[in-house]
């Protein structure tokens, strides 16, 4: 017996069949609203002491800490793949960490040596230098601590000295990631007064107190020594209006670009920032996001390669100009093909 399915009047669709443009890849490409290219990607890299040294990061499968000589090789590979810039993060040896984080402004510290080496060997790739004290402090906090309190202005003073050391070493962009109040204005003033008017500031303006940073803290060696938490200076993840206030303040203080961190859980903040401000906006696909995709893919729960691509496109669709991602080299090569 033939089933007589109910028939409905579909005449209203006669002129508006949106599937028409989806029927072939060439047509989908023609109407695609956003684009993703190697130039949209920034590659975060972790630096360690030694020569020809690399160490695995347990919670970030496929990511390694690299000594300065291997970092130079990575920079050459990034340039060849079309990646415009690298973001550097040092794993400072334990004996150089202290409660006053003085190693942060040592002109011969690990970060500065890495900046000089890459700039000498690969001068046409941009170098983004992280400025915060957690990579140099003995307690894992981004700021100086006194009696359990994070000191704002005292921290900013140290960060200014750190930023100047990095600029002298060849940093093209200073990226304060600490969330202290007033640090963008202080760094901008110091850079200008010391002849570094050309050096940009990429402010971590909306950096949330997030559980997704765990693997990163292992990578830079701050997680095991962290005392307390960072909720008095990093943002409450319940808030988005506050993020716009932070961004507005950093722009007023002289930021050339701003960042939202983490990435995928905060795409609403990226979108609100894009709608509100005419400034380059970057999103950081952080270590926890990377680890989830890698581990879910290894477990067979998702198609790993498809998930990487879809996640990066989500950042562009939300309005990000660029993405800091540990998938950068792989994806730049794939997109280049």
Which residues are marked as active site?
A: 207, 261
Q: Domain residues of the chain, as ranges?
A: 36-258
- Looking at residue 224, its pLDDT comes to 72
First and final C-alpha spacing in the chain: 53
pLDDT at 9: 65
CATH 3.20.20.70 fits 36-258, yes or no: yes
Low-confidence ranges of the chain (pLDDT < 50): none
Per residue in 222-249, pLDDT tens? 877 787 889 999 999 999 999 999 999 9
Q: What pLDDT, in 10s, does the model give residues 28-61?
A: 999 999 999 999 999 999 999 999 999 999 999 9
* Number of residues that make up the chain: 337
Q: Give the separation between CA 218 and CA 327, rounded to whole angstroms.
A: 18
The per-residue pLDDT for 174 is 98
Q: How far apart are CA 130 and CA 213, in angstroms?
A: 15
């Amino acid at each position: 017996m033939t089933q007589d399915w109910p028939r409905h009047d579909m005449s209203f669709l006669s002129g508006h069949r949106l599937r028409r443009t989806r029927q072939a890849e060439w047509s989908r490409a023609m109407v695609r609203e956003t684009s993703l290219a190697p130039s949209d990607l920034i590659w975060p890299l972790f630096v360690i002491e030694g020569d020809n040294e690399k160490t695995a990061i347990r919670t970030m499968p496929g990511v390694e800490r690299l000594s300065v000589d291997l970092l130079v090789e990575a920079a050459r590979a990034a340039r060849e793949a079309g990646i415009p810039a690298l973001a550097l993060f040092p794993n400072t040896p334990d004996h150089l960490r202290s409660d006053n984080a003085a190693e942060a402004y040592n002109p011969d510290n690990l970060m500065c040596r890495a900046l000089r080496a890459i700039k000498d060997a690969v001068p046409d790739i941009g170098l983004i230098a992280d400025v915060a004290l957690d990579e140099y402090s003995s307690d894992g906090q981004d700021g100086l601590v006194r009696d359990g309190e994070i000191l704002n202005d005292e921290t900013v003073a140290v960060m200014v000295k750190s930023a100047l050391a990095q600029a002298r070493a060849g940093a093209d962009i200073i990226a304060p990631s600490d969330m202290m109040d007033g640090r963008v204005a202080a760094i901008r003033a110091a850079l200008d007064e010391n002849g570094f008017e050309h050096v940009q500031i990429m402010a971590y303006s909306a950096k949330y107190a997030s559980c997704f940073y765990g693997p990163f803290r292992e990578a830079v060696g701050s997680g095991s020594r962290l005392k307390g938490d960072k909720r008095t200076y990093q943002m409450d993840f319940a808030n988005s209006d506050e993020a716009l206030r932070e961004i507005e303040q950093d722009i007023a203080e002289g930021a050339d670009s701003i960042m939202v961190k983490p990435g995928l859980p905060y795409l609403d903040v990226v979108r609100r920032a894009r709608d509100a401000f005419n400034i380059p906006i970057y999103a950081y696909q952080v270590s926890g996001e990377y680890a989830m995709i890698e581990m879910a893919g290894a477990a067979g729960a998702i198609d790993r390669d498809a998930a990487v691509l879809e996640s990066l496109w989500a950042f562009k669709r939300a309005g990000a100009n660029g993405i800091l991602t540990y998938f950068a080299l792989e994806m730049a090569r794939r997109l280049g093909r």
